[in-house]
A and B are shown apart, each in its own frame.
Chain A
Amino acid sequence: MKEVRIHGRGGQGSVTAAELLAVAAFEDGKFSQAFPFFGVERRGAPVTAFARLSDKKIRLRSQIYEPDYVIVQDATLISAVDVTAGLKPDGIVIVNSEKSAEDVGLDAGIDVRTIDATGIALDIIGRPIVNTTLLGAFAGATGEIGIDSIKQSILARFPGKIGEVNVQAAEKAYKLMTSAKRKPSKKSRPRKNGTAYESHEKIPIGAIGKPGTSEVTRTGDWRVFYPEFDMDQCSRCGKCLESCPDAAIHKRELTGREATEALKRAEELEKAGKIKKAAAKKAHILYELDPMYCKGCGICANECPIQGIKMKLEEK
């Protein structure tokens, strides 16, 4: 039996990928399973899906703790989640990244294969939907499943033109992967265990004592676009701040020399006819983005009355 764990972000089709893989395994005459991790699965948040493939009936129903293969749909997950947890010694990790295997931030000694699935998908499908592309890469890198079965599985799920472009993307990734050489790894990865308690009395009660501790979760890495503020033109109306569901915009008032300088600079811009008076008068007040938490929803940009906020593609 081979076990596959797929790491993605909500909305990237990780569960669909697991299901397509399982159906493809059927096509190959194997037994298979696919299921998601049950948890908070908001769009952009890290999610996990699992698939098992086997020549024999599969009786196991647990989550996968010691995968043979890991697929990482978004390389930014590597810093947020332990994607290689429990990986078997000869396991393979397939990462969607334009970087080389050495540069994605995984330990040396792990067999990492990178593929620019986003690039391929944008090119062929026209949208950054990478799950089918990565299945082609999986077939190429592992040889566990025939590319024809992957194709059939995709076409059964997405009939017509959409299916065809997805198949083309998968095929391209397959070819790129089969031509790459394999480096066997040696180390097995420590499995991530739940906390064990000596007795039930030591289990903490289900109360969360400390307020505001969600701040340890840096939701900024869910972001695809980020808002860029034009503080020269900003009329300091505060609409952006009150429109942010994530409290990711802060108001800051400069004082002393900093304030004087900001106001002086704005006055000059106003004289030159470049900015409005309302903006110049309050140039010492700043509205600042907290990139640690901004999820890039775009509401602030949509609501800014002077169109002073532009959504820009995040470099990852």
Chain B
Amino acid sequence: MQAKYDEQSIDLLASGHKACAGCGPALTIQAILRATGANVFVANATGCMEIISSQYPQSAWKVPWIHSLFENTAAVASGIEVALKALGRSEEGKVVVIAGDGGTVDIGMQAISGMLERGHNVCYICYDNEAYMNTGNQRSGSTPLDASTTTSPFGKRSFGNDRPKKNMPAIAAAHGISYVATSSVGYPRDLTKKVQKGISVSSPAYLQIHAPCNIGWGFDSAKTIEIARLAVETGLWMMYEIVNGELVNVMKVRNQQPVEEYLKLQKRFAHLFKMPGGDAQIKLIQELANNNLKKYTVETQKEAGEIQT
């Protein structure tokens, strides 16, 4: 499918929302809605994107939108989907979930699993800012190794978060759904294409979009897109699709950047450059990146076949 840009519908998330200046997730939503157009029903989990867009009595949404609890967005979306079916209104639009990483990889997991298992026609999109940002930067299962957060602070006996990111796309794919993809707010064309694929299948689809948060990660608000690109160029964030269970279309990293280039711009990793033993940790992170590139590129270089729906 040809990625198409509809600049007219640019403000389906209206100006005046309360996201911090330079917010990666808010930019992600702009891009998602630009790709879907107006015919969507959005179920939105509690989190930054819900809080900044729906301060009563205002709403930034120009598409049908519902706020769910932190933990049950997939269940709410499932309900909307079957209700539309029962009413014979499915043609009116696609049901789309927009949820944070905490709401997805942690507390929302069982509702998602149920939704994927039951085969609802819902496109689930997680914007991954790698922590619970709305409540002030607590670690989630999606927080990367060694990131310092309020609940995984660095200190004498800690380099920060001691676990690597949970592989949520693989968990989603393990449900046997036909479309899983990762993308990044640093690559709007890629993001558009994948969102459009995700809404075109008539069974569940799962997308995870890397979306830097300048407040939680600690970087200059102008660098949101630059940092998102660096995550991909270093091999720390992989962009691929899993179509009918097969890993395909892995974005090639032609000129791999050292992970320091990514880490040094962010306060959440600043301790690695100052603490004794920090350099060994940076090496570990470099290995994670190298392994990513090896794992995803060796298996693949395949082109996607037709998505079975």
Contact = CB atoms under 8 A, between A and B. Distances in A.
Interface of A: 10, 40, 42-45, 204, 206, 208, 210-219, 222-223, 238, 241-248, 250-251, 290, 292-293, 295-299, 301-303, 311
B61 A211 contact: yes
Contacts of B59: 208, 210-214
B63 A243 contact: no
Given A213-B57, A298-B220, A241 B27 contact: no
Contact of A293 (B16, B24, B34, B188): B16
B: interface residue count bin: 35 or more
Interface in B40-70: 51-63
Contacts of A208: 54, 56-59
Contacts of A242: 5, 30-31, 34, 188
Nearest to B15: A293
A213 B58 contact: yes
Given A296-B21, A297-B224, A299-B224, A211 B16 contact: no
B31 to A, nearest CB: 7
Contacts of A10: 20
Nearest to A45: B18
B223 interface: yes
Contacts of B251: none
Nearest to A303: B225
Nearest to A208: B59
Nearest to A212: B14
9 contacts: A40-B18, A42-B18, A214-B18, A218-B16, A242-B30, A242-B188, A245-B26, A297-B22, A302-B222
A215 B59 CA distance: 9
Contacts of B53: 214
A43 B20 contact: yes
B60 A214 contact: yes
A176 to B, nearest CB: 32
Contacts of B76: none
